[in-house]
Structure 1
Amino acid sequence: VFALASAASLVEKIALEVRGLSRSEVAEVEEGRPEGSSAMPHKRNPILSERLCGLARVVRASLAPVLESEALWHERDMSHSSVERLVFPQCFILVDYMLDRVEKLLGELVIYPERMAKRLDEALGLPFSEGLLLALVRAGMSRKEAHLLVARLSSEALRTRRHLREVAEEAPEVRARLSPAELEGIFDLRNVLRHVDEVFDRVFSQGYKGGDDQR
């Protein structure tokens, strides 16, 4: 049941991400066949994702009666039997259904990359702040000093509604350690995504092995 609860929670994490990215103010993804709201026709409700999140709670809740069955009279009374007869089949059936539905969810998921790109532009380059911090550390700045500097530059970017790269280019501490070309690379989305295909191939390829003896 612990393994089943973990599997259900993993499915829920995926579904929860879809729900978040499906919100009207985000709208970066959409379920393949979303249902409209009965009260607000413009809404596209992620019904399947919401269902998976609810079922994950049911599976996790099944841990409680299983744990309660740890303490038995004289090592082996039969009070656990009724629990196991109910919980085990239910959890296997629910997780089997959840795995089938999450495969359908991901297979039919509609993605809007142009909306993602627009939101990145609106973020003023702040998602690249970690890359800037790490580049400064590699260039010899202490991590604490780099963290404080990038935090200050990020606040300045937000306050003035300017791109973080533009603010960083004006900072003497940054110019002393990073060249214009290096700064350009830090804020280039292609560099951030350069290993994505390799990661996906490694994880989802048919021949991937999670361990020495696991497929």
Structure 2
Amino acid sequence: EPFDPGQKGSSAMPHKRNPILTENLTGLARLIRSAVTPALENVALWHERDISHSSVERAIAPDTTIHLDFALRRLAGVVERLVIYPENMMRNLDRLGGLVHSQRVLLALTQKGMSREAAYSAVQTNAMKVWRGEGDFLGFLKADPEIQPHLSEAELAELFDLGYHFKAVETVFARVFGR
């Protein structure tokens, strides 16, 4: 979330930028969820209503809608001013040595006829080498004799394309923001 000039961070750690807006949203979510139990208790006796039902509704209906309205406005402000560091994001992904693509590799291997158990074992064996800092995931997969008969180097490289994960971004944005 944005950190405005002059804004204070943590009282104990001056370098820390506390996400105060989203922390506030978390608290508001708790307040909104707190209305669920009394609302559900009202439903059980819907045909035998009495003052105990309407008294609950008189409190939770306005309070919950006010909290929800405030939370949605706050969230919209956070999203509008969201600070994104694409270079840091890419650096973090790269630090994983390609492991973020393990699920796609697993599924591709099963689609090529490898049993799920064998595919899982092969992918995991190569992933553990990456965790130990021995190299990169794609390189290990390309060299693995269990994987080579099922996926070509080109097919493996295609599974490592981050664009796959962003293919529906414009559709989602259009649905959410009407663009």
Structure-1-length-normalised TM-score: 0.74
State the Cα deviation string for residues 127-179 of structure 1 (Å, max 9, x = none). 00011112212222122221121112111221243111111112101112221
The code of the aligned residue for 2:116 comes to R
* 1:197 matches 2:169: yes
| 1:144-163 superposed matches below 5 A | 144-163=117-136
Give the secondary-structure state (helix, strand or coil) at the position aligned to 1:110. coil
* 1:112 matches 2:78: no
Structure-1 residue corresponding to 2:50: 77
Q: Distance in 1 between matches of 2:50 and 2:135?
A: 69
Identity among equivalent positions (%) equals 43
The answer to whether the 8 Å contact 2:3/2:17 transfers is no
Q: Distance in 1 between matches of 2:76 and 2:44?
A: 38
Pick the aligned partner of 1:180 from 153, 159, 172.
Answer: 153
Q: 1:76 to 1:177 in 2, by over 3 A?
A: closer
Unmatched runs of 5 consecutive residues or more in structure 2 = none
Pick the aligned partner of 2:38 from 55, 61, 65.
Answer: 65
Give the secondary-structure state (helix, strand or coil) at the position aligned to 1:174. coil
* 1:94 matches 2:67: yes
Q: Distance in 2 between matches of 1:82 and 1:67?
A: 14
State the Cα deviation string for residues 12-32 of structure 1 (Å, max 9, x = none). xxxxxxxxxxxxxxxxxx335
Greater CA deviation, 142-151 or 94-103? 142-151
Q: 1:171 to 1:155 in 2, by over 3 A?
A: same
Structure-2-length-normalised TM-score: 0.87
The answer to whether the 8 Å contact 1:124/1:161 transfers is no
Q: Distance in 2 between matches of 1:117 and 1:70?
A: 49
Unmatched runs of 5 consecutive residues or more in structure 1 = 1-29, 208-215
Structure-2 residue corresponding to 1:31: 2
Pick the aligned partner of 1:141 from 80, 102, 114.
Answer: 114
Structure-2 residue corresponding to 1:210: none
| RMSD of equivalent CA atoms | 2.2
Q: Distance in 2 between matches of 1:63 and 1:204?
A: 26
State the Cα deviation string for residues 24-61 of structure 1 (Å, max 9, x = none). xxxxxx33546411221111110010001001111111
